[in-house]
Structure 1
């Protein structure tokens, strides 16, 4: 496991700037879990337990929490967990310190394990083995990520135009990733939309979805 996101400064930036996933993402994941259990998608169900691995400041934990009686967010960073606890509005959500390769949970205790924007940092074989241990026999693992942001609205800056500013923003983001103190191989997983990670998931029943769009200012 690689550890780049543990400082208080980064945790503060996460709360202020990091976009969360949409309700549509949660709906796609929960409906997949329903289908796996033979439950009609329109049926209102509250499942037993969610475990959100590498939860950061808790955006995904909070997004999925309404669908579960108990939700547990785990992260290696005490600073991230502190922010997650401060942002938490659910009485049935708790946060624990832990790592993806040794999930602090009992065998076959989770209906759903989520990992949002983080699995590219894990030791994947160990994480998949742990997920299998912790999930119920009819449980699901949902790995979520997003491609690099695209500037789609006009940016009215002096001397610039739409196309130039969109291209500049994309190039700047890529430059920060590739020239910063990061693991390039890990970010290659992000650039190819987790396709290699999806192939590596040791399951014959899995579904890949890259049709969802998140728009934000």
Structure 2
């Protein structure tokens, strides 16, 4: 299966406006690891997760199919970036103590990726897969955003978006000692910051490509009287599943 690259064309926006993840998520994942020598962050994008792992592991390998994304990624001495598909990597057998994939599993051939995870994992290594659903703005906002998500740009989502909507419940996870957890990434953003985040959505980029207009502009006009000129607190619901490779 040819890998899908939905983010190279707006990698700069992605690097500026996509969220990172709460410390509690990493603490939870690391509570299962037996060793913290080597980690692989698959589909690293701009290196958000790799940058968080680098202070916890001796060496972090980070891969992505997008050269543009990797050029903009966080640079630290013990992160090594390279272009690679998720399903077939250059790594040696039994290399990693931890493998992570954030907000990207739904783009993969999942069974092939899990086979590669088994090959490159040390015995007892941990695999952690997570993502986040539709941002929550609060009363008076969420109905407007849901209409935008489902109706205005809904037809422009790839079919894989359904896996985010059901928190990967329908994707296989054939590992031992499976644990699931939920977290909340909290941000305080201006309306402009929020709208630029929406412009990183693959459905929004596809809408712009096909219609030669930005649907976020109209949504911003609808939200502005409610949002005002200041910042407001918003929440991203994060779902996680962790397993052990035996």
Runs of 4+ in 1 over 2 A off after TM superposition: 4-7, 173-178
Counterpart contact for 2:7–2:14, Cα < 8 Å: no
Aligned pairs for 1:42-191 within 5 A: 47-84=36-73, 87-88=74-75, 90-152=76-138, 162-163=139-140, 165-175=141-151, 178-180=154-156, 182-184=157-159, 186-191=160-165
- Give the TM-score normalised by structure 2: 0.72
Partners of 2:125 and 2:169 in 1: how far apart?
Answer: 22
Partners of 1:56 and 1:168 in 2: how far apart?
Answer: 29
1:164-188 CA-to-partner distances (Å, cap 9, x unmatched) read: x3211232133465311x422x111
In structure 2, the gaps of 5 or more residues are 190-246
Q: What SS does structure 2 have at the residue aligned with 1:213?
A: strand
Note the aligned Cα RMSD (angstroms): 1.6
Partners of 1:130 and 1:25 in 2: how far apart?
Answer: 24
Q: Pick 1 or 2: higher relative contact order, CA cutoff 8 A, min separation 6.
A: 2
Partners of 2:56 and 2:150 in 1: how far apart?
Answer: 36
1:4-49 CA-to-partner distances (Å, cap 9, x unmatched) read: 3242x4211111110111111111111122xxx3xxxxxxxx7111
In structure 1, the gaps of 5 or more residues are 38-45, 153-161
The verdict on how the C-alpha distance between 1:95 and 1:172 changes in structure 2, with shifts beyond 3 A counting, is: same
Counterpart contact for 1:116–1:143, Cα < 8 Å: yes
Residue equivalent to 2:186: 215
Question: Whose strand proportion is higher, 1 or 2?
Answer: 2
Partners of 1:15 and 1:98 in 2: how far apart?
Answer: 19
Shift of 1:65: 1.4
Residue equivalent to 2:174: 202
- Give the TM-score normalised by structure 1: 0.81
